[in-house]
Amino acid sequence: MQPTRRYWAVATLALALAALAVVLERPLVLAGAALVGAWLVAAQLRFTWSLRRLDAALAVDHELVPARVPTGTPVQALLSVSLDEPTDLAVTVRADPPVPATGSTRADRETTIPPGETAATVALTTTFPVAGRFRFDPPELVAADRFGLLTETVRRGPPADLSVVVRSPSTLHVGEGGDRIAATYGEHDSGRRGSGLEPASVREYVAGDAARRIDWKATARLGRPQTREYDTETELSTLLLLDHRAATGAGPPGESKLAYLREVALAFVDAAAADNDPLGCYAVGDEGLTVRRDPSADTRTYHRVRDAIETLTPTPTTDGAVTPAAGDGSGGGGIAAGSRTTAAGDGTLRSGGGTSPAAARRAVARLEDDRFGRTLRPFFDAQDRYVQRVSDDPLYRAARIARRGGATARRMVLLTDDSDRAGVRDAVRAARHGDATVVVFLAPTVLYEPGGLADLDDAYDRYRSFETFRRELARLDRVDAYEVAPGDRLAALLEHGGTRRRRARQ
């Protein structure tokens, strides 16, 4: 119990009487001090008994509606307190939202149970500007005695958990050239045979096979000993590399490139958690790595990766704003203007350097020291700058670090956009190692730019350029590449493309 100033005033009164008795040498005054002191103790006991009765008669209901919301969406915390019998205490009920909650005042958060009443309700509406998991602590009950001498604060009732997620896109399309992919994320063929539960194939018996693996029915059918093989159950270790550089901020609020890429990344998290597969996550901003979690299959890692992905925002540009659209491969601007990729007339793509670093080095080595060689050498010198650019490219650097940090990962999932195609190509190549596969999810810039579909002919051409780039990546060994786009905008663009082709045939 917490004494109030009034309690201390009465206690001081008792002490003053005792002091007066000493000063006046009048033991009679001590009797007054004893009575006042006894009265204070009795008031304390009375408060304790009332508090216990209140606690026994109390029922607290604490609920959040809804329990999972996007950022910025109002959440209603419903807090109802009821008593089996009226109490002689003055009771204040106070909801306790977490710190990031906004939009409520202290007065909104509390209510009192009037004397003689047995119920009170708090309906608190708050919003959360940031994503994450939050907990409304059990509500506080502040009880005060009718004399104003004592108060007590207790927490009763259950906590309420809230999951705030970033605003997610409504029509997510993941596919190739406008076609959706049907496979669910996370399912995989182990490619290995051995012991397991899923029958894979039957083959002829060879010396050394265990007798218990002989398939007697197949042996009887084919007349020769046959052995049944099973798919080996393996775990697929996955490393997510999520790009959240300024260029991924292009798009309307909640429907930016990053928002769509995030949905894909979260699907991988869910799949990994469901299959108990190891999962890691690296995130790269304009200045370098912002998240680094190496693959692990424990529940805490899944939660941390999910939290990290949900709270990522596009890196602000130097002027503090998020780049609305960094431009696609056929445009300019963005964070790596020097590495722009151009769409050649024949549909192939060439990076600003025109060739890979390795090819450039080989070409320089082959040049002879004649006039022809001296004339060409300065052009190949440009590859020095290219090498410098590559090493400065955050995505490329992140891919190399991720390859080392996630060396155990059999699959790296790269989620980025096409604003820096040369950089993406370099990053994909850097990500490949051993027998690991790379899955690339690309957000075509043309489908995210505000007004990007204003000129449908131009937009379709840019989408074709993107599709060519995607296919180029997909042709790389052990690389799959998919597009991640707003379904409605892509459908509109493809419909226009179909119309244009039909018109061209006529």
Per rule CB under 8 A, is residue 93 in the interface with another protein?
Answer: no
Question: Bridge-partner residues for 340, per DSSP?
Answer: none
**Do residues 205 and 214 lie in contact, with contact meaning Cβ atoms separated by under 8 Å?**
yes
Please, which of residues 246-265 interact with another protein by CB under 8 A?
Answer: none
Which of 36/289 has CB closer to another protein?
36
Near another protein by CB under 8 A, which window of 14-22, 62-70, 399-407, 460-468?
Answer: 14-22
3-class secondary-structure state, position 231: strand
Sole binder of another protein in the list 66, 148, 177, 450 (CB under 8 A): 148
Max CA separation in the chain (angstroms): 123
Backbone angles phi, psi at 378, to 5 degrees: -60, -35
How far lies 294's CA from each of 232, 279, 359, in Å? 25, 7, 33
Per rule CB under 8 A, is residue 303 in the interface with another protein?
Answer: no
Least spacing, CB of residue 270 vs another protein, in Å: 37
**Do residues 432 and 308 lie in contact, with contact meaning Cβ atoms separated by under 8 Å?**
no
**Do residues 218 and 228 lie in contact, with contact meaning Cβ atoms separated by under 8 Å?**
yes
Per rule CB under 8 A, is residue 1 in the interface with another protein?
Answer: yes
Least spacing, CB of residue 12 vs another protein, in Å: 11
Near another protein by CB under 8 A, which window of 11-19, 117-125, 361-369, 379-387?
Answer: 11-19
Per rule CB under 8 A, is residue 13 in the interface with another protein?
Answer: yes
Sole binder of another protein in the list 82, 83, 90, 207 (CB under 8 A): 90
Per rule CB under 8 A, is residue 37 in the interface with another protein?
Answer: yes
Per rule CB under 8 A, is residue 41 in the interface with another protein?
Answer: yes
> What is the SS3 assignment for 309-369?
HHCCCCCCCCCCCCCCCCCCCCCCCCCCHHHCEEECCCCCEEECCCCCHHHHHHHHHHCCC
**Do residues 128 and 68 lie in contact, with contact meaning Cβ atoms separated by under 8 Å?**
no
Which residue, 287, 203, 185, is CA-closest to 244?
287
Per rule CB under 8 A, is residue 364 in the interface with another protein?
Answer: no
**Do residues 275 and 101 lie in contact, with contact meaning Cβ atoms separated by under 8 Å?**
no
Near another protein by CB under 8 A, which window of 9-17, 163-171, 269-277, 307-315?
Answer: 9-17
Which of 57/367 has CB closer to another protein?
57
The DSSP letter of residue 303 is: H
What's the order of all strands across the beta sheet hosting 288-296? 179-180, 172-176, 479-486, 437-443, 411-417, 238-243, 279-285, 288-296
Stretch 312-351: interaction string toward another protein, x if CB under 8 A? ----------------------------------------
Least spacing, CB of residue 27 vs another protein, in Å: 6
Least spacing, CB of residue 58 vs another protein, in Å: 12
Per rule CB under 8 A, is residue 144 in the interface with another protein?
Answer: yes
Sole binder of another protein in the list 8, 35, 199, 385 (CB under 8 A): 35
Near another protein by CB under 8 A, which window of 24-32, 235-243, 349-357, 403-411?
Answer: 24-32
Sole binder of another protein in the list 8, 42, 204, 499 (CB under 8 A): 42
Per rule CB under 8 A, is residue 40 in the interface with another protein?
Answer: yes
Near another protein by CB under 8 A, which window of 10-18, 74-82, 125-133, 198-206?
Answer: 10-18
Question: What number of CA atoms fall less than 13 Å from residue 263's CA on the CB side?
Answer: 20
Contacts of 204 (CB under 8 A, 6+ apart): 224, 225, 226, 227
Whole-angstrom distance, CA of residue 383 vs CA of residue 355: 9
Per rule CB under 8 A, is residue 29 in the interface with another protein?
Answer: yes
Per rule CB under 8 A, is residue 16 in the interface with another protein?
Answer: yes
Task: Give the rounded distance of the alpha carbon of 249 from its chain centre.
Answer: 15
Sole binder of another protein in the list 147, 216, 372, 379 (CB under 8 A): 147
**What is the DSSP secondary-structure string of 266-302?**
HHHHHHHHHHT--EEEEEEETTEEEEEEEEE-SHHHH
Per rule CB under 8 A, is residue 17 in the interface with another protein?
Answer: yes
Whole-angstrom distance, CA of residue 469 vs CA of residue 422: 10
Question: What number of CA atoms fall less than 13 Å from residue 343's CA on the CB side?
Answer: 18
Which residue, 357, 359, 344, is CA-closest to 426?
357
Please, which of residues 369-408 interact with another protein by CB under 8 A?
Answer: none
Which of 57/401 has CB closer to another protein?
57
**Do residues 465 and 177 lie in contact, with contact meaning Cβ atoms separated by under 8 Å?**
no
Sole binder of another protein in the list 8, 15, 358, 372 (CB under 8 A): 15
Sole binder of another protein in the list 60, 130, 154, 202 (CB under 8 A): 154
* Count of residues engaged in binding another protein, rule: CB under 8 A: 56
Near another protein by CB under 8 A, which window of 66-74, 145-153, 226-234, 376-384?
Answer: 145-153
**Do residues 83 and 54 lie in contact, with contact meaning Cβ atoms separated by under 8 Å?**
yes
Stretch 95-124: interaction string toward another protein, x if CB under 8 A? --------------------x---------
Sole binder of another protein in the list 18, 172, 200, 214 (CB under 8 A): 18
Which residue, 295, 294, 291, 287, is CA-closest to 308?
291
The footprint of another protein (CB under 8 A) covers: 1, 4, 6, 10-11, 13-22, 24-53, 55, 88, 90, 115, 144, 146-148, 151-152, 154
